[in-house]
Structure 1
Amino acid sequence: MFYRFARFIVKVIFKIMFRIEVIGTENIPKKGPVIICSNHISNYDPPVVGITSPRSIDFMAKEELFEKKWLNVLLSNLNAFPVKRGMRDRNALRTGIERLEKGHTLGLFPEGTRSKNGEVKKGLAGAGFFAMRSNATVIPCAIIGSYEKFSKLQVVYGRPIEFKTLEKEKPGAQEVTDEIMGNIKSLLDEHR
């Protein structure tokens, strides 16, 4: 209930601030576990993906954000959960898998931090881990444009990623993440 209310408020505010164009929401399955992997250019990216996706999204967020009690309560009510950056966080990995097993949508920014120049950086292996350890459909997402007031912003959801070519090679989590990042880069190149 709180998630839907917050989503509505943010949607109204962002529609005033930015001219958001959304492409490809039909590529997101209506049911079952889904992982949405997006490039990361701003702190506004999670709410933008959250308001443009037809499904509610559980996001991993850096642990530091949960240190303030009011922010911890807010983020938890928005389905976010903490992750320790710069190390392997087994609790965050377990939480993500549990949520996918329940049929949730997991939102990830595989780069782990914002890209200052807007170019796609190398992704962290966590995205590949979730893709390999779950039966989730992986959807690439590209956020294109700037967050300057009244400027145009595009959010493009690509087709589900097929990992068939990688399956023969028995890839590791990093190779799967590299494939995901390649799909995000292709969306950026196609729609810029």
Structure 2
Amino acid sequence: MNLAFLGGLDLKKAMTRCAFVMARLLCLGIAKVAFRLHVEGQEFIPHSGPVILASNHVSYIDPIIIEIAVRRPIRFMAKKELFGSPLFGWLIRRCGAFPVNRDRANLQAFKQAISLLEAGEVVAIFPEGTRGDGIHLRPAKSGIGLIAARTGAPVIPVFHTGTGKVFPRGAWLPRPGRITIKFGMPCRFAGGQANRGEDQIATFSRIIMEKIAGLQASSDPDCRLRDDPLYATGEALLTKNEGFLNPHEEGGYFIKRRN
């Protein structure tokens, strides 16, 4: 249905967009009032253009908290089961979510993420593929590396604490509390088509997870997993070149092929 007096604006699309904005503003407004948010590393986030945010995942409110800190609308993958509830599924779609099947490779979700990045949007990805306990980090799935390789978009590692306490598993409503979120230096997958092999993509995905672990270790000197190679390597990546990383002209880093 087209309305001439609205310049050909599609009514269904306009209503969908309005619902999207309203739901997003409602969630952001509640979060800003309820939570005490401390943010570090905002200078690494560009004001425009495609960005992949690679974050640890603890709570269903993680995307909302990340968006408040980023100050740009974000789109994020969510497990398809969450869309089964008519009300909750409608809400998270309006807040920027799109479904992914975690049990198998989901080409549709990957294509949508790539399309969004090519359109200059911000896409948040949780490389672990599921929620954790806020302390232990799981190895990254390869999807983050695949999307980064296909788009060339900068990947910014993100680590946050506190969301698991303000909105724990099984809770129906969030509770007031403090949340800390830290953004790291961006990196890019480089090397072109010849460098998109499974090994290179897996290596890039692992390095992103190590950088997230490095943010955790640098934020928590008493991290009980400090001796874990994931954390030790991640912390080193924050401070020096480890053979995988070269300076990027925008101040970040990109990954080159290993000889």
On whether the aligned pair clears a TM of 0.5, the verdict is: yes
Q: Within 2, Cα distance between the matches of 1:172 and 1:101? A: 22
- Give the residue type in structure 2 aligned to 1:157: F
Aligned equivalent of 2:137: 120
Q: Within 2, Cα distance between the matches of 1:140 and 1:54? A: 16
Look at both structures and tell me which one has the larger radius of gyration over its CA atoms.
Answer: 2
1:75 to 69, 92, 105: 92
Structure 2 residue runs of 5 or longer lacking an equivalent are 1-17, 167-174, 221-259
Shift of 1:31: 1.7
- Give the residue type in structure 1 aligned to 2:142: A
Task: Confirm or deny: 8 A CA contact 2:149 2:189 kept in the other structure.
Answer: no
**Aligned positions of 1:4-43 closer than 5 A:** 4-43=21-60
Aligned equivalent of 2:203: 175
Shift of 1:19: 1.6
Structure 1 residue runs of 5 or longer lacking an equivalent are none
Q: Quick check: 14-23 or 32-41, which moved more?
A: 14-23
Task: Confirm or deny: 8 A CA contact 1:33 1:137 kept in the other structure.
Answer: yes
1:157 to 176, 179, 183: 183
Task: Confirm or deny: 8 A CA contact 1:18 1:147 kept in the other structure.
Answer: no
Matched, 1:103 2:102: no
Higher relative contact order (CA 8 A, sep 6+): 1
Deviations 1:149-185 (A, max 9, x none): 44321011111125579x9897432211101001111
Output the TM-score relative to the length of structure 1.
0.87
Deviations 1:121-150 (A, max 9, x none): 111111111111112111111102352444
Task: Confirm or deny: 8 A CA contact 1:59 1:108 kept in the other structure.
Answer: yes
Shift of 1:117: 5.1
- Give the residue type in structure 2 aligned to 1:147: K
Q: Quick check: 76-85 or 177-186, which moved more?
A: 76-85
Structure 1 runs of 4+ aligned residues shifted over 6 Å read 167-170
Q: Within 2, Cα distance between the matches of 1:48 and 1:142? A: 11
